[in-house]
Amino acid sequence: MIAAISVGFAAAQDRPTTSGVLEASLDSDWRGLDPDNTLYMQLSDGLVVFELAPQFAPAHIANIRMLVSQQYFDGLAIVRSQDNYVAQWGDPKSGSQDARSLGDAAEMLDPEFYRDAGGLAFTALDSRDAYANEVGFSSGFATGRDGEEGRIWLTHCYGALGVGRANSPRSGNGAELYVVTGHAPRHLDRNVTLVGRVVHGIERLSTLPRGTGPLGFYEEESEQVLIESIRFGTGLPEDERLAIELLRTDTETFRLLIEARRYRAEGWFVDPAKRIGLCNVPLPTRPTD
């Protein structure tokens, strides 16, 4: 079932504003985070929280779940910060005899670059796109697809969480992860397995000092950023879980929000684009406390 995000308004004064749409939203327009699919990465200077998308990458998320249960990531590091691109973390000793064991986690996995679109709810965005026949949202995640019966995939928008890999498509296993911290590298779509996105704390990653080595890798151990721990929400006491709700993307409120962003009726814009790209669509959150 497809709901296209395109709403007409007769005059500029009739168009909604972003703040107005959110102020008028109903409680039913919002949803909470599922603690079983929420990942918490504790850094020395704060917390980064990810929402995972098992409907798109079930095998990789299951492997990440195994790694987390073994506390694999605890004490590892952010090893790369490439300007306008990504921040990446994993075992700094990966590939050497001193590399940390994966334990019961799989070393190789078949790629989950995309999945069948059939049967998956999709809210289409009326937008021209260079990388997909259609773009829109599925379960709150920005997606591209070939068509209703074709392929659908998560997209490399700002904050997307991906699985690092080598040349072999099967070499990504979730032990090495990255987040898009710059302009959306959509050319990576369908070539890397994406598993979710940041919902809190993206600034902890996007403002990291840039690595001075090739591709933004840190050349000295002292430059690396220690990961204190990574846990699933179900492994934390309820009072330590992030208390936020996310705006649902299958509602009339979300469609109005897109219209507000498309026309920017707040008053500053003298020549609004009247168009919007997938990665420029906001996905608002609000505190529940």
Q: Give the per-residue SS3 of 196-233.
A: EEEEECCHHHHCCCCCCCHHHECCCHHHCEEEEEEEEH
Q: pLDDT digits over 213-257, tens only?
A: 999 999 999 999 999 999 999 999 999 999 999 999 999 999 999
pLDDT score for 9:
42
pLDDT tens digits, residue range 34-61?
999 999 999 999 999 999 999 999 999 9
Show Cβ contacts of residue 97 under 8 Å, excluding neighbours closer than 6 positions.
Answer: none
Residue 264 pLDDT more than 80? yes
128-178 tens-digit pLDDT: 999 999 999 999 999 999 988 899 999 999 999 999 999 999 999 999 999
Averaged pLDDT, 53-78:
98
The pLDDT confidence band at residue 273, using thresholds 50, 70 and 90, is confident
| pLDDT value, residue 288 | 93
Mean pLDDT for the stretch of residues 247-270 = 90
Q: Are the C-beta atoms of residues 66 and 79 closer than 8 Å to each other? A: no
In the chain the domains, ranked by start, together with CATH numbers, are 12-287 (2.40.100.10)
Share of the chain above pLDDT 70, in %: 95
pLDDT value at residue 149: 87
Phi-psi region of 139 (alpha: psi -120 to 50; beta: other; left: phi over 0): left
* pLDDT in the model for residue 13: 55
